[in-house]
Structure 1
Amino acid sequence: MARQGQAATSLGRGDAEDDAGGTKAAHFVFVPLREQGHLIPAVDTALLLATHGAICTIVGPPSTAALVRRTVEPAQRSGLAVRLVEFPLDYAQSGLPEGTDDGDSIPPMHVWSYYRAMALLCEPIESYLRAHAPYPTCVVSDFIHPWTTELAANLGVPRLSFFSMCTFGLLCQHNLERFNAWDGVKNPNEPVVVPGLEKRFVVTRAQAPGFFRGIPIPCWEEFADYIERARAEADGVIVNTVLELEPEYVAGYAAARKMKVWTVGPVSTYHQSRTTLASTLASRGLRASAIDPDECHQWLDSKAPGSVVYVSFGSISQADAKQVVELGLGLEASGHPFIWVVKNADEYDEAVRGFLGELEARVAGRGLLIRGWAPQLLILSHDAVGGFVTHCGWNSTLEAVVAGLPVVTWPHFTDQFLNEKLAVEVLGIGVSVGITEPLTYQAVKKEIVVGRGVVEAAVRSVMGGGEDAEERRRRARALAAEARAAAQVGGSSHANVLDLVKRFQPGGARGAAV
């Protein structure tokens, strides 16, 4: 393990230095958020930039480094100039119980203390970067780290905000706040039209509350304001999306923010371009797979092309006992082969665990239950998969697009509702199960259950025949071709990666004007 002030690997001179010992390559310092949906694409973006000649230093606490080391170390061994540098958190000063950040996610009651602990890393990170060549040329920070404004200012370098979400959602949320759309709206489930867009989209405050808005604790509202100021003061924006998927919303967000937006997605293509494709896809993620990747691949090989539906709700949300039963029975009744990722299956009571075992026996050969982390990118990339039941996290949504898959949309919280609208109402590849209120992080605990009949109908709608289903598949295939082309030489995302590498070289034109 690298200690504070010590990188996990050192950089040789090579292409990074000129004959006088000065740096001639762009040096990006990534400050990612540790949550999976933010961390994985941030690291992938760093690896993409390094592939094209940049130096990238990824900084964070030991718990974050542990999550991404299995992704970063193979890139280092391949010769990419990527460093992973650890800085211990000050648990005592931040009020964070020691070791709280060692799990898959930060418990909600400790999130505020964790953000404070991260902000305390500003000084040690700055000291390290000043003491270890090459000097940084740009800070790329997750937008939830507003303290990096101080880090970049002290270093005298530009700062770019990193977003692991679509610009459609960013623009909707921005316009709702900019035009005060929630003024006078007392019911969180009262629909309003998103202002400032050519097409009509209706949302509720429960679906689009704003980043850290709506939490009835003063410190969170202040934090939301701090984040907004930092976003407004950034020197540009990097987004894991594809220009061709949402061109009007990329342009709209750039105009609204008055800053350049670099669309660099899908950043997962870094792994899909590796020579050892299967092993690379299987290793992408924060934890080891709960199933042997070869076993999973062999199971899929035994199924007809486009016949399997994949079901996963991400790393944060977990269905309650009643929903687990209804979902399982709906998948069984659909008649389609399926892979179902059951998060934290061992935490359910004996009755639910028993149900899962009985279901597994009944659908043996047709259904595969994965209890824990799944090699999602490997699964979605397999020809046997024909549809995806998803919580609409942006990583999953974009991975479905790249794989050319229609989706059953089942949002759980925040931007997932806006991602659903993009999939269903803009891209035309989704079928909704009808969730209209948050299932996770509810202000007031409320039981919301999607019945087995709805699950069965949604799966059949996406996986079955008929003109509508075929049109969704056609749209999904067309979007996949556009997304893949964007990442190839000559594509929009590839060009943006090259522009970043060139623009933030020492002496480069760093201005971020639109």
Structure 2
Amino acid sequence: MAMAGDRRRRLLVLVPCPYQGHLNPMLQLGAALQLTSSFSVTVAHTEFHFPNQSNHPQFDFLPTADGLSDADKSSRDFTSLLSKLNVNCKISFQESLTRLREQHKEEVTCIIYDALVYFAEEVARELKIPCVIFRTCSAANTSIYNEYPRLREEGFIPLQDSKALELVPRVHPLRFKDLPVYKFEGYEKLLQLLERSNQIGSSVAFLLNTIECLEQSPLMKLRGEYPVPFFTIGPLHKIAPPLSSSSLIEEDQSCITWLNKQAKNSTLYVSLGSVASIDEKELVEMAWGLANCEQPFLWVVRPGLVHGSDAINLLPDGFAEIVGERGRIIKWAPQQLVLAHESVGAFWSHCGWNSSLESISEGVPMICTPCFGDQRVNARYLSHVWKVGLLLEDMERGEIERAIKKLMTSEEGEIVRQRMTDLKHEVMHSIKEGGSSYNFVHELVKYINSL
């Protein structure tokens, strides 16, 4: 324990889940806490997807041996990989943490861990270090995970295709097909992982990268289910100071120069995220839908978008000639810069939570094509609760063309755009002094200092 009068900063250890959509908000959280306090921050990260430390000189990094084979790392079975990490990393994290405490001769004030890497909570409990659980998904998703035991007990799980469009009892506004376990291979393992990750164990608080005005109902439900303080501290990418890129794929900055040449609100930005994949037929349908819509577009076609391929090589013959300068295809985009660009008028997205928050924060209406997991819940809320996006579930060129034109050129699309602008103002008000997220970040600092 630091002696009275000792001016050394208090040490926080952050433990992210090693995927892009989880790492980004955890690093943003660390930067936000440093901005509003005198904490020093150490990021304990698996060897798998270990970030480039030179991009983040404000943090110390603590490598954690994960015992993954090359086959594990290349597998698309994320559930099994996460389960292995939680078994393999516990001892190595505990040893690394013990060495850290001995070297620095100071106590770790708090461990903040991503709910999916719950080995960190087990270590914190054994070492008697206070810990805080952090969910990088929405409150709605977190709340739904707690419903699975009931749905199984009532015979709704395993999910039946015949009930796909029916509303889930007591889980408004979701249909059965909106549940993260719908058509998920190995859903039994996923249910076990989600059940364990939603247990707070010895955690003394619960953090969510969301905003009170967005999710009042699910937040109220969660606060009734967990006996710990809740801190809604989103959107973290707007609260934290700008960070160097933590992207696992190199960003193509040249697309900004191309966007500068496009008219205001004219361009459709298309990206299905860093993990989701589609088949070759869907890629071809996307291509012709974009070719036929007559709008300028910036399309992210990353390696692996079509599993096992570069994807760009699979674009149909004649596509490039028809599109010409109206379309720009890149492997990865600096997404926050793109969404903030005045020429971008809509975002066709897989509806990952980070992408959803980034689009809302810039007032960019969305076309919603969820691929798996929590993306389905987010898409349902975007299209049917907040009504700031259009749901596009059929990857057929005619449907794609109609959805783009409806959102970007019709009266109905203008109404959706206005709703998104209004929602943006509410969300951005929350991070200003006196707003809910601003207040919760400062209350979180006080809370951690009281531990």
1:245-277 alpha-carbon deviations (Å, 9 max, x no partner): 122222221112233221111111156x54xxx
Distance in 1 (alpha carbons) for counterparts of 2:191 and 2:281: 34
Note if 1:122 corresponds to 2:93.
yes
Distance in 2 (alpha carbons) for counterparts of 1:133 and 1:213: 47
* Structure 1 letter corresponding to 2:197: I
Q: Displacement of 1:186 after TM fit?
A: 4.8
Q: Displacement of 1:414 after TM fit?
A: 1.2
Note if 1:452 corresponds to 2:393.
no
1:344 paired residue number: 303
Q: Displacement of 1:342 after TM fit?
A: 0.6
Q: Displacement of 1:129 after TM fit?
A: 3.7
**Matched residues, percent identical?**
24
2:275 paired residue number: 316
Distance in 1 (alpha carbons) for counterparts of 2:328 and 2:205: 44
1:94-130 alpha-carbon deviations (Å, 9 max, x no partner): xx315854x7987776554344222332321331342
| Residues 68 and 181 (structure 1), Cα distance of their counterparts in 2 relative to 1, 3 Å cut | farther
Distance in 2 (alpha carbons) for counterparts of 1:355 and 1:385: 23
Distance in 1 (alpha carbons) for counterparts of 2:391 and 2:312: 26
The 8 Å contact of residues 167 and 246 in structure 1, kept in 2 or not, is answered as yes
The 8 Å contact of residues 125 and 202 in structure 2, kept in 1 or not, is answered as no
Specify which of 311, 323, 326 is matched with residue 285 of structure 2: 326
| Residues 464 and 361 (structure 1), Cα distance of their counterparts in 2 relative to 1, 3 Å cut | same
1:83 paired residue number: 60
The 8 Å contact of residues 159 and 235 in structure 1, kept in 2 or not, is answered as yes
Distance in 2 (alpha carbons) for counterparts of 1:318 and 1:485: 35
| 1:259-338 map, 5 Å | 259-270=228-239, 273-274=241-242, 283-289=245-251, 291=252, 293=253, 295-338=254-297
Distance in 2 (alpha carbons) for counterparts of 1:193 and 1:181: 17
Distance in 1 (alpha carbons) for counterparts of 2:309 and 2:128: 54
Root mean square deviation, CA, Å: 3.0
Specify which of 40, 55, 61 is matched with residue 55 of structure 1: 40
Specify which of 305, 312, 321 is matched with residue 361 of structure 1: 321
- TM-score norm. by structure 1 comes to 0.78
1:135-157 alpha-carbon deviations (Å, 9 max, x no partner): 11211111112222222123323
| Residues 412 and 350 (structure 1), Cα distance of their counterparts in 2 relative to 1, 3 Å cut | closer
* Structure 1 letter corresponding to 2:249: R
The 8 Å contact of residues 162 and 238 in structure 1, kept in 2 or not, is answered as yes
For structure 2, the residue ranges without an aligned partner over 5 or more in a row are: none
The 8 Å contact of residues 244 and 482 in structure 1, kept in 2 or not, is answered as yes
1:406-436 alpha-carbon deviations (Å, 9 max, x no partner): 111101111111111110111110111136x
Distance in 2 (alpha carbons) for counterparts of 1:258 and 1:331: 49
Q: What is the number of equivalent residue pairs in this alignment?
A: 445
Q: Displacement of 1:482 after TM fit?
A: 1.9
* Structure 1 letter corresponding to 2:120: T
| 1:219-258 map, 5 Å | 223-228=193-198, 230-231=199-200, 233-258=202-227
Distance in 1 (alpha carbons) for counterparts of 2:93 and 2:10: 21
Distance in 1 (alpha carbons) for counterparts of 2:181 and 2:320: 39
Distance in 2 (alpha carbons) for counterparts of 1:28 and 1:106: 31
The 8 Å contact of residues 172 and 194 in structure 1, kept in 2 or not, is answered as no
The 8 Å contact of residues 302 and 310 in structure 2, kept in 1 or not, is answered as no
Distance in 1 (alpha carbons) for counterparts of 2:373 and 2:106: 39
The 8 Å contact of residues 278 and 307 in structure 2, kept in 1 or not, is answered as no
| Residues 284 and 86 (structure 1), Cα distance of their counterparts in 2 relative to 1, 3 Å cut | closer
Q: Displacement of 1:21 after TM fit?
A: 2.6
Distance in 1 (alpha carbons) for counterparts of 2:309 and 2:138: 37
* Structure 2 letter corresponding to 1:173: Y
Note if 1:392 corresponds to 2:361.
no
The 8 Å contact of residues 310 and 387 in structure 1, kept in 2 or not, is answered as yes
The 8 Å contact of residues 79 and 193 in structure 2, kept in 1 or not, is answered as no
* Structure 2 letter corresponding to 1:203: R
Distance in 2 (alpha carbons) for counterparts of 1:84 and 1:352: 35
Deviates more, 1:242-251 or 1:399-408: 242-251
Distance in 1 (alpha carbons) for counterparts of 2:311 and 2:72: 30
The 8 Å contact of residues 318 and 343 in structure 1, kept in 2 or not, is answered as no
Distance in 2 (alpha carbons) for counterparts of 1:51 and 1:175: 37
Deviates more, 1:488-497 or 1:311-320: 488-497
Specify which of 92, 110, 124 is matched with residue 152 of structure 1: 124
- TM-score norm. by structure 2 comes to 0.88
1:280-335 alpha-carbon deviations (Å, 9 max, x no partner): 57x3523321x2x1x22111111111111111111111221111110010011111
1:21 paired residue number: 6
Distance in 2 (alpha carbons) for counterparts of 1:284 and 1:215: 30
The 8 Å contact of residues 105 and 316 in structure 1, kept in 2 or not, is answered as no
Deviates more, 1:454-463 or 1:131-140: 131-140
The 8 Å contact of residues 35 and 105 in structure 1, kept in 2 or not, is answered as no
Note if 1:165 corresponds to 2:137.
yes
For structure 1, the residue ranges without an aligned partner over 5 or more in a row are: 1-15, 77-81, 275-279, 436-449
The 8 Å contact of residues 176 and 195 in structure 1, kept in 2 or not, is answered as no
The 8 Å contact of residues 330 and 452 in structure 1, kept in 2 or not, is answered as yes
The 8 Å contact of residues 188 and 205 in structure 1, kept in 2 or not, is answered as no
Deviates more, 1:344-353 or 1:479-488: 344-353
Distance in 2 (alpha carbons) for counterparts of 1:31 and 1:88: 13
Distance in 2 (alpha carbons) for counterparts of 1:382 and 1:152: 43
Distance in 2 (alpha carbons) for counterparts of 1:320 and 1:249: 34
* Structure 1 letter corresponding to 2:323: V
Distance in 2 (alpha carbons) for counterparts of 1:394 and 1:113: 25
Q: Displacement of 1:221 after TM fit?
A: 5.8
* Structure 2 letter corresponding to 1:261: F
Distance in 2 (alpha carbons) for counterparts of 1:221 and 1:455: 33
1:381 paired residue number: 340
1:479 paired residue number: 423
1:38-64 alpha-carbon deviations (Å, 9 max, x no partner): 111111111111111222211023444
Q: Secondary structure at the match of 2:213?
A: helix
Q: Secondary structure at the match of 2:88?
A: helix
Q: Displacement of 1:194 after TM fit?
A: 4.0
Deviates more, 1:200-209 or 1:55-64: 200-209
